[in-house]
A and B are shown apart, each in its own frame.
Chain A
Amino acid sequence: MNALDLLFLLSGATLLCALLFGRTRWAAPLLLLGYAAQFVALLQTNALFGEPISLSWSLVVLDQPMHWRYDALSWFFALITLGAGFLSTGYGSGVWMRDYERAGHSAGVLHTALAANVFSMVLLVGAEDFLSLFLGWELLNWATFFLMALRGGIAARAALRYLGYAFTGGMAILGAMALLYAQAGSLEFQPIRESLPQMSDGQLWVLLALLGSGFGIKMGLLPFHLWQAPAYAETPGPGSAFFSAVSARMGLYAMLVFFVGMVGLARLVQMEIPYTFLNGRDLLAWIAVFTIIFPTYTALQQQDARYLLAWHGIGQGGYMVLGVLVGTAEGSAGGLLHIFNHAITQVALLMAVFAVLYRTGTTDLNRLGGLVARMPLTFLTLLFGIISLAGLPPMAGFVSKLLVYRALLFEGMPLLFVGAIIGTLGTILSVYKLIHNIFLGQLRLEHESVQEAPLSMLIPMLSLSLLIFLAGYFPGPTLSWVAAVQAQLGLPVVNYHLGGVYDAHGGFNMIWIVSVLLAGFGIGALVFFGLGGPSKRVHQLDNYAGGHFLYAENRYQYSDHFYAGLMHLIGPWYRGSFQWLERALGSIVDFLAHFTNGFYGIAQPLLWSLAAVLGIAVWVF
């Protein structure tokens, strides 16, 4: 039994524990232990820097072998999965869960759903043939659906919508599998890899469309992104955090395996679209850029913190795809690194928002404000998170985005570059609105006695904040993982050092940048606190504007239509365009159903049977 067997066993055992003991008091410690044990087993596999490791067991079903194997890519994704599982469980284990149960929900179900998600992801990222990939994929889809739906109500409807998308995606993948099987005679990766060069461009385009949409739906790539934000936002706290960290990235994982690992970017570039200047890679890259822009600006419109963050989660996925598609060492490193950096960022952000929800009972951005003095540590987490999310130094998100920008720049892709930047600017705008509307501005009277988030929630939040900062300060370790993944995928490998990267176009060193920035803050503090006299602290509720006292009972927080001017301008550009598409599809299904149902409403449809007979007669004649 090797380490990978152990990992799978432990993952299954954790799921079983959740199923059996999820309701009991020791559920949380037990599960935390389970995730930690999986983590240790994952480290033991040494799949990142060592040789890929195969599962000792394999299945043969209907003559189709099913293997599992962990390589650097699997390891990287499994690491994020297990980390997210561990932290979310930790976050939701203490008082949060007590509250959740008091509201009439079942802790056992939540634990089970979470463990099932982790288990299916551990299974998925080890897939070594399409059958095991699809098995993991579907398990994940249903585990996700389960976790989304378990709160009922709006969440269930969002989950159903998710299911509509995800299952359609699954079917697209299944169709692609059938085509691949017909071509390669097998579903294992190796024969498929060998048969892919023989395929015509037409066949590859079909595969690209099917697999691209199948995997893209999970990722929330345009135009399949509509399901994601409501579904993730309405999931209970730990689940939401877990999802946003890693769930959608499984689509990216599968895309990496197929499009980068098997088809290869070079082949994608060769696939010209007739009558345009575009090729396969450009097409995907543009989809990625629009995935950055549209969801980001949709996020800007949101009035609910959870929705806002969930929309950003979709948008950030675009950077990952974009970076990988650029294909240079820096670009793919940036894309891959952003998976990790975004995961920690998003988890921290959502945890902070759910902490606010836990304390105040709402995440409505128009019903909060001024909480900074009440929940300073949560504020700190959110601050670190938004700086990272917006891609500003000195946090982790900056490093990965910088790599992507540089790659785009040196590859000469100005429009994609500008698209990415526009997305970043939109992110800055929207995260400022987030932090402003929750923590700054007017404190509402009913929140005057709000306490800091409980310790069980603070610990994961603060440790993640630290991680965000450290991953920005010293990106070397994470870059070393990414480099191993690049080598695994056959991409050019990035030259990294502890502080950043260097290459023919220069490089950057985060240690210097961050150090200088910190020193700058020091100087700033020195100037500010040293030069002037002491300042007088005004009470939070003691405010005036334009010479008039503002009464605490009156709501004077500027939160509604925060960017009214901008929205006035760009609102009509994209408002509801995809909603329209979705509704149109729904209406088509509706119409078809209506049409087919009509047949069953005919009083005397023997004429149809006669027509069938006639048709057959014509056919055979």
Chain B
Amino acid sequence: MRNLAAVLFIGGLGFFLFVLFFRLPLGAPPLVAGAAILEEGGETVGAANLVTAVLLAYRGMDTLGELSILFAAATAVGLVLGRRQLVVSDPEGGFILRAGSDLLFPLLLVVGLYVILHGHLTPGGGFQGGVILAAAFFVPVLARPRRGLDHGLLSFVEGLAGAAFIGIGLWALFARDAFLEPLLGKGVLGHLFSAGTLPLLSMAVGLKVGAELAGLMTSLMEAEGRES
């Protein structure tokens, strides 16, 4: 009965959605704010990757909010899962896992940092790189569950990275009277050291995301392993 109703509802909704959507200019949406950004983004922000420009400059507030959400999620997970003494029952991984993880760790670290630092130039950026960083730190934990990660350190890193993001914003606030306005020289479009404070912000984002995701995954894994 419930499924039947659901099917009917979904069908009805799907019908309306399809009918409505296909009246819209699909594939040729109006380009209002986007057009302006495409127009002047390169000059104003100095980032070749306009997505990153949007992310960190034009809509830096969203990114800050998003960082906060991730932070909130991590904090809440910490709250939910509690902070009791961990009893990880998972056995140590086999040789292949351990060796693989040892090999992967530096590789992932480098790739992650690269993606973060080149966020304003090429596809990628703080988030993407941060996720890779998180993976880099999480893989060894998978291999050696008992060792775990130092949550204190993680929280320290994530706190500081977040504070750095805001700090850069506040710096702009006091220097230019506008929160999160890109500072420093724009540099040459396409160069590594360009786009002002964007790489710094990217770095902060990357570190924060990395620390938080790593912390999240480790917490979940620890929770999984704990016997009560």
Tell whether B83 is near chain A: CB-to-CB under 8 Å: no
- Name A610's contact: one of B13, B16, B17 (CB within 8 Å): B13
CB distance from B137 to the nearest CB of A (A): 36
Q: In the complex, which residues of chain B have a beta carbon less than 8 angstroms from the beta carbon of A617?
A: 12-13, 16-17, 20
Q: Which 8 A-B pairs have the closest CB atoms?
A: A617-B16, A614-B13, A610-B9, A614-B9, A614-B12, A611-B9, A621-B16, A617-B13
Contact B16 A618 (CB under 8 A): yes
Question: CB-CB < 8 A to B12: which residues of A?
Answer: 614, 617-618
B5 proximal to A (CB < 8 A): yes
Within 8 A of A (CB), among B4-53: 5-6, 9-10, 12-13, 16-17, 19-20
Residues of A within 8 Å of B2, CB to CB, are: 607
A607 B17 Cβ-Cβ under 8 A: no
Q: Which of A582-621 contact B (CB under 8 A)?
A: 607, 610-611, 613-614, 617-618, 621
Interface size (B, Cβ < 8 Å)? 11
Chain A contact residues, majority secondary structure: helix
- Extra 18 A-B pairs, beta carbons < 8 Å, given A610-B9, A617-B12, A617-B16: A607-B2, A607-B5, A607-B6, A607-B9, A610-B6, A610-B10, A610-B13, A611-B9, A614-B9, A614-B12, A614-B13, A614-B16, A617-B17, A617-B20, A618-B12, A618-B16, A621-B19, A621-B20
Collect the chain A residues with CB atoms within 8 Å of residue B19's CB.
621
Cα distance, A613 to B9, chains bound together (Å):
9
| CA distance in complex: A371, B220 (Å) | 85
Min CB–CB distance A13 → chain B (angstroms): 58
Q: Which residues of B contact A613 (CB under 8 A)?
A: 13
A-B contact pairs, 7 of them (CB 8 A): A607-B2, A611-B9, A614-B13, A617-B17, A617-B20, A618-B12, A621-B20
**CA–CA, A56 to B161, complex, Å?**
68
Number of A interface residues, CB 8 Å?
8
CB distance from B75 to the nearest CB of A (A): 27
CA–CA, A355 and B2, complex, Å: 68
Q: Which chain B residue lies CB-closest to A610? A: B9
Q: Report the minimum CB–CB distance from A556 to chain B (whole Å).
A: 70
Residue in A closest to B11 when the chains form the complex, CB atoms: A614
* Nearest CB of chain A from residue B17's CB, rounded to whole Å: 7
**Cα distance, A618 to B8, chains bound together (Å):** 14
Point out residues on A near B: beta carbons under 8 Å.
Answer: 607, 610-611, 613-614, 617-618, 621
A-B pairs under 8 A by CB, number: 24
Q: In angstroms, how far is the closest chain A Cβ from the Cβ of B85?
A: 35
CB proximity of B126 to chain A, nearest CB, Å: 34
Within the complex, the shortest CB–CB distance from A573 to chain B, in Å, comes to 49
CB nearest to A604 among chain B residues: B2
Interface SS majority for chain B: helix
Say how far B146's CB is from chain A's closest CB, in angstroms. Answer: 39
Shortest CB distance A607–B (Å): 6
Complexed CA–CA distance, A607 and B2 (Å):
8
The CA-CA distance from A613 to B17 in the complex, in Å, is 11
Residue of A nearest to B12 (CB): A614
Q: Which residue of A lies closest to B13 (CB)?
A: A614
Interface centre among B2, B12, B17, B20, by most A CB within 10 Å?
B12
A74–B204 CA distance with the chains assembled, in angstroms: 77
Complex-state Cα separation, A180 to B13, whole angstroms? 42
Separation of A614 and B15 alpha carbons in the complex (Å): 10
For residue B81, give the distance in angstroms from its CB to the closest CB of chain A: 24
**CA A607 to CA B5, docked complex, whole Å:** 8
Residues of chain A contacted by B16 (CB below 8 angstroms): 614, 617-618, 621
Residues of B within 8 A of A610 (CB): 6, 9-10, 13
A618–B5 Cα gap in the complex (Å)?
16
The chain B residue sitting closest to A606, CB to CB, is B6
Separation in Å of the A608 CB from the closest CB of chain B?
10
Chain A residues whose CB sits within 8 angstroms of the CB of B5 once the complex forms: 607
CA A375 to CA B176, docked complex, whole Å: 95
Inter-chain CA distance A617–B12, complex, in Å, is 9
Considering the chains assembled together, what is the distance between the CA atoms of A607 and B16 in angstroms? 17
**Cα–Cα, bound, A621→B5 (Å):** 21
Interface centre among A607, A610, A614 (most CB of B within 10 A): A614
Which residues of chain B are within 8 angstroms of A614 by Cβ–Cβ distance? 9, 12-13, 16
Tell me how far the C-beta of A613 lies from the nearest C-beta in chain B, rounded to whole angstroms: 6
How far is A621 from B16 in the complex, measured between Cα atoms in Å?
A: 8
A613–B16 CA distance with the chains assembled, in angstroms: 11
Contact with A along B151-165 (1 / 0, CB 8 A): 000000000000000
> For the complex, what is the distance from the CA of A554 to the CA of B12, rounded to whole Å?
82
Distance between A621 CB and nearest chain B CB, rounded to angstroms: 6
Question: CA–CA, A610 to B12, complex, Å?
Answer: 10
Chain B residues in 8 Å Cβ range of A607: 2, 5-6, 9
Chain A residues, Cβ within 8 Å of B9 = 607, 610-611, 614
Q: Which residues of A contact B17 (CB under 8 A)?
A: 617
The complex places the Cα of A610 from the Cα of B5 at a distance, in Å, of 10
- Closest chain A CB from B74 CB (angstroms): 27
A619 to chain B, nearest CB (A): 10
Q: Which residues of B contact A611 (CB under 8 A)?
A: 9
Question: Please, how many angstroms separate the alpha-carbon atoms of A548 and B18 in the complex?
Answer: 100
Determine the residue in chain B with the shortest Cβ distance to A621: B16
Q: With both chains docked as a complex, state the minimum distance between the C-beta of B148 and any C-beta of chain A, in angstroms.
A: 36
Name B141-200 residues within 8 Å CB distance of A: none
B5 to A: closest C-beta gap in Å: 6
Report chain A residues within 8 Å CB of B20. 617, 621
Q: Given the complex, which residues of B lie within 8 Å of A621, measured CB to CB?
A: 16, 19-20
Complex: A614 Cα to B10 Cα, angstroms: 8
With a CB–CB cut-off of 8 A, which chain B residues contact A618? 12, 16
In whole angstroms, how far apart are the Cα atoms of A607 and B10 in the complex?
10
Measured in the bound complex, the distance between the Cα atoms of B13 and A611 in whole Å is: 9
Please measure, in the bound complex, the distance between the C-alpha atom of A297 and the C-alpha atom of B156, giving whole angstroms.
83
Q: Which of B112-126 contact A (CB under 8 A)?
A: none
Q: Which residue of A lies closest to B16 (CB)?
A: A617
Closest Cβ–Cβ distance, residue B23 to chain A (whole Å): 11
Shortest Cβ distance from B19 into chain A, in angstroms?
Answer: 8
Task: Give Cα A618–Cα B6 distance, bound, in whole angstroms.
Answer: 16
Q: How far is the CA of A621 from the CA of B19 in the complex (A)?
A: 10
User: Distance in Å from the Cβ of A605 to the closest Cβ of chain B?
Assistant: 11
Min CB distance A606 to B, Å, is: 9
Task: For the complex, give the distance between the alpha carbons of A17 and B12 in Å.
Answer: 69
Task: For residue A603, give the distance in angstroms from its CB to the closest CB of chain B.
Answer: 11
Tell me, in angstroms, the Cα distance from A617 to B15 when the chains sit together. Answer: 10
Closest B residue to A613 using CB positions: B13
What's the nearest-Cβ distance from chain A to residue B3, in Å? Answer: 10
Distance in Å: Cβ of A106 to nearest Cβ of chain B: 49
Chain A residues with Cβ below 8 Å from B6 are 607, 610
Q: How far is the CB of B14 from chain A (nearest CB, A)?
A: 10
CB of A616 to closest CB in B, whole Å: 9
A621 to B9, CA, bound (A): 15
User: Could you tell me the distance in whole angstroms from the C-beta of A543 to the nearest C-beta in chain B?
Assistant: 77
Q: How far is the CB of B109 from chain A (nearest CB, A)?
A: 42
CA distance A610 to B9 in the complex (A): 7
Proximity bits, B206-218, A CB within 8 Å = 1, else 0: 0000000000000
A613 to B12, CA, bound (A): 10
In the assembly, what is the distance between CA of A617 and CA of B17, in Å?
8
**Distance A621 CA – B21 CA, assembled complex (angstroms):** 12
What CA separation (Å) do A614 and B6 show in the bound complex?
11
Count chain A CB atoms within 10 A of each CB in B5, B13, B19 and give the residue with the most: B13
